[in-house]
Amino acid sequence: MRLPDRNRSRVVLIGASQYSDPKLPDLPAVHRTVADLAELFTDEYYGLVPEEHCTVLLDEGDLRTVGQRLRAAVEEAEDLLLVYYAGHGLVSGRRHDLYLALPDSEWTGPEFNSLEYDKLRNAVLDSPAANKLVILDCCFSGRAVTDSLAGAEAAQLGQLDVAGTYVLTSAQRDQVALALPGEDHTAFSGRFMRLLREGVVGGPELLTVEDLYKRLRTLMEAEGLSVPLNRGAGTASQIALGVNRSYAQTVGPELRKRHVAAVRQGEDGDWEGAAGALQKILDEQTRVLGPDDADTLRTRQSYAHSLGGAGNPMEAAGLLRQLLADQVRLLGPDHEDTLRTRQFLAVNLGEAGYREEAIGMLRVLVADRGRVLGAEDPHTLRTRHILARNLMVVSANDEAVALLRQLVADRERVLGAEHPHTERARRDLAELEGRAAADVRLV
């Protein structure tokens, strides 16, 4: 089971919401449904394909245009081909053939101005795509259905078969409405989209078309709606259509625990091991939670910093610069995570030999953390300490001594005289004052 290859897949969305034949009522919900499906399927992270690989034919009345654009997508698809239709389903002919209505279709003669399902089926059959999915959201027989068709449903389902393809139909019939009062989407597709957007609690990490069908069937039966129908051949039922967004509710907390353990591993001195663990966590979070999730961003921060601890401060600085830009965009410049990334960036730049740049960044960060958190917040005090240590490295001893004296006094008052951070600042101050005394003796 896997997600489709975005660049080798194609999606075709066909919808008819307006009709010239007064016997075919307009279906305004179809317009919103097709538009929202296009947005969902082309989502930068959760979608199936980029926008240029999604063909939208909404209220297109020219059957030739529909055929040409459908064939183009069919021929280009190599991994997944998904063809969706929403509108009126009409039945005509001695074999009760299924026709998908277009804006100028006629109730009494759909075979002359509608998309014949058999032609759609043949086009899909000819596609080189490894996986093929056809979704029909229409009145399965429409108003043209006669009582004699009630017993022919099984035969008509057989007509929908496409080898190597999964076919999913909403199974709407006769007078059953496509959209419920007060709903923006058709009943079937609205619930289909909700499952993709919200996920299935307790479900797998990836949602296959079969997973979605089973859940849709349960939902629609419970609401007294038409029960979806499905046909599948081979492994087509295992086509994954998206990440289960509810999966994060279960996995997210466990990944956070692993993140905390990996950070502690680095702090205990095993930076290389921490980096390896954090890389695995980051891969899972990006896949399950998304690249913009707060947990994912924090793991990017910890992973980059651990690379610096493992002896690659320049690589760490490059990753932290990229992260900082994303955090400013997503969280804002004053968010604590953004401020922490600035501190980690300065630390790694200093370790990479760009000490003056690091000192300049830390001076600004001390002011910003003081403004946002307060001058005596432990995080602000930590930044002041890092600034002092960098000044020590470049032999700016007078300024470093002044900073450390004030820092020791502030930490004794805020944290206590025996707090490890207070003791660390006191040791640094003693070391620096010892150097100064030695220099005086030498002179």
Q: Within 10 Å of residue 320's Cβ, how many Cβ atoms?
A: 28
Residues 141 and 15 in one domain: yes
Give the tens place of pLDDT for each residue, 99-111.
999 999 998 888 8
Residues 351 and 367 in one domain: yes
- Residue in this structure with the two tokens 């002359």, named with its chain if needed: 112
Res 108: pLDDT: 86
Res 147: pLDDT: 30
Q: Which domain holds residue 386?
A: 249-442
Residues 66 and 127 in one domain: yes
Give me the mean pLDDT over the 314-342 stretch: 97
- DSSP letter at 80? E
Whether the per-residue pLDDT at 436 is higher than 50: the answer is yes
Residues 308 and 213 in one domain: no
pTM of the complete model = 0.67
Q: Do strands 97-100 and 80-87 pair parallel, antiparallel, or not at all (unpaired)?
A: unpaired
Q: For 88-102, 159-173, 205-219, 355-369, which range has the lowest pLDDT when averaged over its residues?
A: 159-173
Q: Which of 182-196, 246-260, 319-333 has the highest mean pLDDT?
A: 319-333
Residues 165 and 253 in one domain: no
**Could you tell me if residue 1 is inside a domain?**
no
Whether the per-residue pLDDT at 435 is higher than 80: the answer is no
Res 433: pLDDT: 86
Phi and psi at residue 89, to the nearest 5°: -100, 125
Res 171: pLDDT: 64
- DSSP H helices in 233-354: 247-267, 271-288, 294-309, 313-330, 336-351
The mean of the pLDDT values for the chain is 88
Alpha-carbon distance of 65 to 196, in angstroms, equals 30
Choose one of 245, 280, 313: the last residue of a domain. 245
Res 148: pLDDT: 27
Residues 292 and 425 in one domain: yes
Res 234: pLDDT: 58
Q: Which of 132-141, 182-191, 221-230 has the highest mean pLDDT?
A: 182-191
Give the tens place of pLDDT for each residue, 80-101.
999 999 999 888 766 678 899 9
Residues 254 and 170 in one domain: no
Residues 241 and 255 in one domain: no
Whether the per-residue pLDDT at 176 is higher than 60: the answer is no
Alpha-carbon distance of 148 to 166, in angstroms, equals 27
Phi and psi at residue 170, to the nearest 5°: -75, -15
Whether the per-residue pLDDT at 413 is higher than 70: the answer is yes
Choose one of 185, 212, 245: the last residue of a domain. 245
Give me the mean pLDDT over the 9-27 stretch: 95
Nearest to 45 by CA among 196, 249, 190: 196
Res 232: pLDDT: 73
Using an 8 Å Cβ cutoff, are 77 and 126 in contact? no
Whether the per-residue pLDDT at 383 is higher than 80: the answer is yes
Residues 236 and 258 in one domain: no
Confidence of residue 283 (pLDDT cuts 50, 70, 90): very high
Task: Count up the domains in the chain and report the number.
Answer: 2
Q: For 142-156, 210-224, 240-254, 318-332, which range has the lowest pLDDT when averaged over its residues?
A: 142-156
Residues 374 and 286 in one domain: yes
* CB proximity list for 420: less than 8 A, separation 6 or greater: none
Give me the mean pLDDT over the 114-128 stretch: 91
Res 395: pLDDT: 92
Res 281: pLDDT: 97
Residue 18 buriedness (CB in 10 A; 0-12 / 13-18 / 19+): middle
Res 224: pLDDT: 86
* CB proximity list for 134: less than 8 A, separation 6 or greater: 82, 83, 84, 120, 121, 124, 160, 162, 165, 166, 167, 168
Whether the per-residue pLDDT at 439 is higher than 90: the answer is no
Whether the per-residue pLDDT at 141 is higher than 50: the answer is no
Res 125: pLDDT: 87
CATH number at residue 395: 1.25.40.10
Whether the per-residue pLDDT at 377 is higher than 60: the answer is yes
Distance, CA of 406 to chain centre: 47
CATH number at residue 104: 3.40.50.1460
Helices 247-267 and 271-288 cross at an angle (nearest 10°) of: 170
Confidence of residue 278 (pLDDT cuts 50, 70, 90): very high
DSSP 211-228: HHHHHHHHHHHHTTPPPP
Res 346: pLDDT: 98
Alpha-carbon distance of 11 to 135, in angstroms, equals 11
Give the tens place of pLDDT for each residue, 345-375.
999 999 999 999 999 999 999 999 999 999 9
**Could you tell me if residue 401 is inside a domain?**
yes
Residues 216 and 361 in one domain: no
Give me the mean pLDDT over the 383-411 stretch: 96
Using an 8 Å Cβ cutoff, are 243 and 195 in contact? no
Amino acid at 208: T
Q: How far is CA 125 from CA 78, 101, 122, 134, in A?
A: 13, 21, 5, 11
Nearest to 27 by CA among 113, 142, 195: 142
Residues 259 and 370 in one domain: yes
| Greater pLDDT, 174 or 336 | 336
Res 164: pLDDT: 59
Whether the per-residue pLDDT at 306 is higher than 90: the answer is yes
| Greater pLDDT, 309 or 166 | 309
Structure tokens belonging to residue 131: 């996986």
Using an 8 Å Cβ cutoff, are 252 and 296 in contact? no
Beta bridge partners of 11: 54, 82
**Could you tell me if residue 433 is inside a domain?**
yes
